[in-house]
Amino acid sequence: MMTPMRYVVLVLAIIISLHFILSFSHEEYGRATSLSRLSEQFGGSSPQPPYKNGVPEEYYVPSTPPVQGRRANATFVLLARNGDLNGVVMSMKQVEDRFNKEFQYPYVFLNEEPFSDEFKERVSALTDAKIEFGLIPKEDWVQPDWIDETRAAEERKKMVQNNVIYGGSVAYRNMCRFNSGFFYRQELLAKYKYYWRVEPDVTFFCDLHYDPFLLMEDQKKVYGFTVSLYEYPATIPTLWDTVKEFINANPDLVDPDSAMRFISDDGGETYNNCHFWSNFEIGDLDFWRGEAYSKFFDFLDEKGGFYYERWGDAPVHSIGAALFAKKDQIHFFNDIGYRHNPFQHCPQGDLHKKGKCWCNPKENFDYEWYSCLKRYDALFA
């Protein structure tokens, strides 16, 4: 039992300590506000750790200036979905670090849906170069009405049963057809002659200290690659028959100095399935826009093989380049160390050192059994 006296003492003790606590914190509060007023005078706005004010400007050295002198009429091109964002910034950061922070070529992003604000902000953070975002017109993207959807669906089903990669996907087919015949006709690309195609989730291993677009221009190249390999025959059962039909109808469009031997081992009778891997391309847009390739694409498109089969933009571009350009207008960028899963080109010997490459030179696809580089070499033997 508590006596009334003890009770009074306890209550008094509580009141007194409450008074101390309140007056103390009030004093602290006063000191804090006067400190914040003081720091405001020195540029801070509220109490915060010093690092939050940033490193003073005078510590920064000028970033590498853009290369002065002759520039090419060129741009990077990235086709991507909003969902590809993380892979896109990984690729783009490497493009910037290995090459473009010095050269400052612009970027064109393309998508059949509007890019999100988040997408635009995160890619814009990576470069001072100009970036444009384009919306692909529906008619350049979706499966055309004249495709028999019943037949297309049946073929997709068969491909799924046969485990053909992307065999069931209409979106992938839209993408392949777009890359084959529409990207170079997009409004945002009209003002450019050369492009460098970049995909999400790729790796660039080496520094590039020259301008590949100027090399293309000076040497009249129209197509540049880093990896070549065999296409899955199941995706293109009737492609070569269609190509032969086109050649027979337009024999003079084929260049007499063409790279036909890269794509056929029997003078054009059959396709050997070799193609340049189109996830990396440095090319001349005017070559695709020219008469030969335009006619070629329209001819292929009418056959419907982009939907009834699963014709890829890699074999379509490669066959176009191999037929309508001169073989020496197709360039192997031996010094560009590049990976798109699961294959990589890693520069060898002096080139490895020259580019300060970080890939393992032993991991190099060039003369693996599944590579077509030996056939490219043989063009010049």
Ligand X SMILES: Nc1nc2c(ncn2[C@@H]2O[C@H](COP(=O)(O)OP(=O)(O)O)[C@@H](O)[C@H]2O)c(=O)[nH]1
Q: Contact residues for Mg ion (CB under 5 A)?
A: 199, 279
Tell the smallest beta-carbon distance from residue 198 to ligand X (Å).
8
- Of the candidate spans 12-20, 121-129, 187-195, 240-248, the one that interacts with ligand NAG by CB under 6 A turns out to be 187-195
Contact (CB, 8 A) for 282 and 335: no
In the bound state with ligand NAG, the residue whose beta carbon lies nearer, of 26 and 191, is 191
Residue 337, CA atoms < 13 Å, CB-side half-sphere: 28
Q: In what order do the strands lie in the sheet with 107-111?
A: 131-135, 107-111, 74-79, 194-197, 281-284, 223-225, 330-332
Q: What are φ and ψ of residue 209, in 5° steps?
A: -105, 25
Residue 322 contact partner, candidates ligand NAG, Mg ion, ligand X, none, CB within 5 to 8 A by sort of partner: none
- Under the rule (CB under 6 A), what is the footprint of ligand X? 79-81, 84, 111-112, 171, 175, 199-200, 279
In the bound state with ligand NAG, the residue whose beta carbon lies nearer, of 237 and 290, is 290
Tell the smallest beta-carbon distance from residue 39 to ligand NAG (Å).
52
Q: What are φ and ψ of residue 331, in 5° steps?
A: -115, 135
Which residue in the set 191, 220, 354, 374 belongs to the binding site for ligand NAG (CB under 6 A)?
191
In the bound state with Mg ion, the residue whose beta carbon lies nearer, of 277 and 324, is 277
Cα–Cα distance measured from residue 156 to residue 119, given in angstroms and rounded to the nearest whole number = 32
Position 270 contacts ligand NAG (CB under 6 A):
no
Cα–Cα distance measured from residue 276 to residue 317, given in angstroms and rounded to the nearest whole number = 8
Tell the smallest beta-carbon distance from residue 119 to ligand X (Å).
11
Q: Which of residues 230-269 bind ligand NAG (CB under 6 A)?
A: none
Q: Which of 371, 374, 349 is nearest to 361 (CA)?
A: 349
Q: How many residues bind ligand NAG (CB under 6 A)?
A: 5
Q: Which of 143, 341, 137 is nearest to 227 (CA)?
A: 341
In the bound state with ligand X, the residue whose beta carbon lies nearer, of 75 and 111, is 111
- Of the candidate spans 120-128, 132-140, 185-193, 367-375, the one that interacts with ligand NAG by CB under 6 A turns out to be 185-193
| DSSP structural state of residue 166 | T
Residue 209 contact partner, candidates ligand NAG, ligand X, Mg ion, none, CB within 5 to 8 A by sort of partner: none
Tell the smallest beta-carbon distance from residue 200 to Mg ion (Å).
7
Q: Which of residues 279-298 bind ligand NAG (CB under 6 A)?
A: 286
Position 73 contacts ligand NAG (CB under 6 A):
yes
Q: How many helices (H) and strands (E) does the chain have?
A: 15, 12
In the bound state with ligand X, the residue whose beta carbon lies nearer, of 11 and 165, is 165
Contact (CB, 8 A) for 344 and 338: yes
Catalytic annotation on 281?
yes
Q: Which of 102, 281, 291, 368 is catalytic?
A: 281
Q: Give the helix ranges, DSSP H, for the chain.
A: 4-41, 85-95, 101-103, 117-124, 149-161, 170-181, 212-218, 239-249, 260-263, 285-289, 291-303, 305-308, 313-324, 349-354, 373-379
Contact (CB, 8 A) for 273 and 230: yes
Which positions are annotated as active-site residues?
281
Report the interface residues with ligand NAG, using CB under 6 A: 73, 191-193, 286
